[in-house]
Amino acid sequence: MFSIDFRQIGIVAGKEFWDRIRNRWVLAVAVVFTVFALVIAYFGAAQQGTVGFHSIDVTIASLVSLVIYLIPLIALILGFDAIVGERERGSLDLLLTLPITRKELILGKYAGLAGALAFSTIAGFGAVGVILSPQLDLNALFHYAGFMASAILLGFAFLSLAVMLSVFASDRTRASGMAIGTWFFFVLVFDLLILGALVVTAGDYGGTVFPYLLLLNPADVFRVLNVFSLDEVRTLYGLATVFPEALSNPATLGGVMLAWIAGPLMVAIWRFER
């Protein structure tokens, strides 16, 4: 309805970001990422009886399995009280009497939290990239950077969901419950449902539709995005044959991810402005 003042967004974002730096949230998450990534890179092949770094593709494939659990959880924890927390403290009313619109407040909150999340992801996984770099060629580095970028997008998508929950929830307790439910649904339940449906229908029909259903889950988009950018892994998983060509295009998948980021945020703004 009114013009957007990016200065106001920046002020709110700056506060959220520095809050997370100061309370060492960013540091803690970055350290967790670094430690996990190092362990996976060096001991990921231990089951095969060897230790030490072998291949970036295998490392990324293992990291994907880890990140797909971890990042949605971290993003949901980061964002679930963004709005409802202010409401419960009583500071939301105060903020809303200032020369800032509700849209700017949400966008500022989101931008600041997203910045903190991106910063931890880059610092945490970036540190591992630097450590591994002597053993990586340019192509491998490129793949690793792609993994990091997609991990950031995954975080952004779940942060967007978290902020949306935060607008809808009437109190923090409910918001945290909704956040945990969201995590369970997208990370654990969704794939089981799809698999179950595939098995029940014995793949008779809908076989061409099922791969597209994966786009309804940002965690799956992240998985597909990473698995299909890696030739070695693609053959490893044996998925190349069943997966439609349109979905192995990183640009399409990236676009879907952006929709997962923008969509919940837009719903949050719509709801908050009512």
Query: Which of residues 33 and 272 has its CB atom nearest to another protein in the complex?
Result: 272
Name residue, tokens 């988009």. Answer: 221
Which of 96, 242, 246, 262 forms a contact with another protein (CB under 8 A)? 96
Which of 4, 35, 46, 94 forms a contact with another protein (CB under 8 A)? 94
Query: Which of residues 8 and 226 has its CB atom nearest to another protein in the complex?
Result: 8
Query: Which of residues 49 and 99 has its CB atom nearest to another protein in the complex?
Result: 99
User: In this structure, what token pair is assigned to residue 216?
Assistant: 């309804």
Query: Which of residues 88 and 232 has its CB atom nearest to another protein in the complex?
Result: 88
Residue 90 Cβ, how far from another protein at the closest point, in Å?
5
In 31-171, DSSP assigns E strands to: none
Which of 90, 192, 202, 204 forms a contact with another protein (CB under 8 A)? 90
* Whole-number Cα distances in Å, 194 to 135, 182, 188, 212, 249: 39, 17, 11, 11, 22
**3-state helix vs strand vs coil in the chain, percent to 5:** 80, 0, 20
Which of 4, 98, 193, 246 forms a contact with another protein (CB under 8 A)? 98
Contact between residue 28 and residue 9 where contact means Cβ atoms under 8 Å apart: no
Residues 135-194 that bind another protein (CB under 8 A): none
Residue 68 Cβ, how far from another protein at the closest point, in Å?
31
User: In this structure, what token pair is assigned to residue 253?
Assistant: 């998948």
Work out the burial of residue 165: count CB atoms within 10 Å of its CB; fewer than 13 is exposed, 13-18 middle, 19 or more buried.
buried
- Interface with another protein (CB under 8 A): 2, 5, 8, 11-12, 15, 19, 22-23, 89-91, 93-100
